Amino acid sequence: MPYIIAQPYDYPLPTDSNLALIIIDMQRDFMELGGFGDILGNDVSRLQTIVPTLKRLLNGCRALQIPIFHTLEGHQADLSDCPESKRKRGKGELTIGDVGPMGRILVLGEPGNSIIPELAPLSGEILIPKPGKGAFYNTQLESQLQARNITHLLTTGVTTEVCVQSTMREANDRGYECLLVEDATESYFPEFKQSTLEMVRAQGGIVGWTAPTDSVLQGLREWRDEG
Ligand code: TIU
């Protein structure tokens, strides 16, 4: 039985279904000054630290022909999919839909609302725009996973305790086997990242597993060699 060395115990890889890499919201809005993350009052520079590791994981998965999903948090131009509660929240002068240095904040199609160039999707990879924190809410994600018989998700991206954790919890409730890649996710708050890793794998893996990129790539290569 192929597996990834992980916590709280080895993560079994699928034998008659598929696995995907899902990269959550690696978009300029969260990574750069003037975006949504910045206007919420966060130090966006922290998130840059995972880019080389996530790129290595992405390239490794591409080489192994693992399906890749990218998500992008953003709203329709008329904000019809943005609850007033979300728009009102935050402490900056600007809010969702207002014009900032990278265009309208958190609006689909605006310059800031794009995946950072280092991790830009290639053709054949699936981009899921999402209005919420969890990637299953009001999106095509579940039907796209089902169409590919995907049961296992490697989750990565930003921010660990917000969109990444929300997505893992949504996935877990839908029966997906989720592994959070420890050094391919980051938060504006180091203590929240650490707590999230612990929350996910506590109680015998109540939400799923965690493992570093090196362990993930090693397990995936062995799995592909055996398969
Ligand atoms: N604010 C924050 O930490 N995150 C978000 O608003 N979205 C995501 O996590 N993608």
What mean pLDDT do residues 31-42 have? 92
pLDDT of residue 91: 74
pLDDT of residue 90: 79
Residue in 110, 210, 118 with CA at minimum distance from that of residue 164 = 210
Mean pLDDT for the chain? 97
Return the active site residues.
25, 130, 163
Assess whether the C-beta atom of 183 lies below 6 angstroms from ligand 1: no
Residue in 180, 203, 75, 174 with CA at minimum distance from that of residue 130 = 75
pLDDT reading at 155 higher than 80:
yes
The CA-CA-CA angle for residues 170, 35, 134, to 5°, reads 5
**Which DSSP category does 111 fall into?**
T
What tens digit of pLDDT does each residue of 70-104 get? 999 999 999 999 999 999 987 778 999 999 999 99
80, 108 contact by CB (below 8 A): no
Q: For residue 163, name the pLDDT band (cuts at 50, 70, 90).
A: very high
Ligand 1 atom closest to Cα of 187? 3
215, 5 contact by CB (below 8 A): yes
196, 164 contact by CB (below 8 A): yes
What tens digit of pLDDT does each residue of 170-198 get? 999 999 999 999 999 999 999 999 999 99
In angstroms, the CA 121 to CA 71 distance is 10
In angstroms, the CA 126 to CA 137 distance is 16
**Which DSSP category does 112 fall into?**
T
Q: For residue 24, name the pLDDT band (cuts at 50, 70, 90).
A: very high
Give the DSSP H/E element, type plus range, for residue 71: strand 68-73
Q: Ligand 1 mean position to 150 CA, how many Å?
A: 25
Ligand 1 atom closest to Cα of 162? 9
Mutate-to-test residue for ligand 1 from 23, 31, 36, 167, highest number of ligand atoms within 8 A of CB: 36
pTM attached to this predicted model: 0.98
Considering only CA atoms, which residue is closest to atom 10 of ligand 1?
163
Assess whether the C-beta atom of 154 lies below 6 angstroms from ligand 1: no
91: left (phi over 0), alpha (psi -120 to 50) or beta: alpha
Percent of the chain past pLDDT 70, that is, above it, reads 100
Q: Ligand 1 mean position to 29 CA, how many Å?
A: 9
pLDDT of residue 226: 83
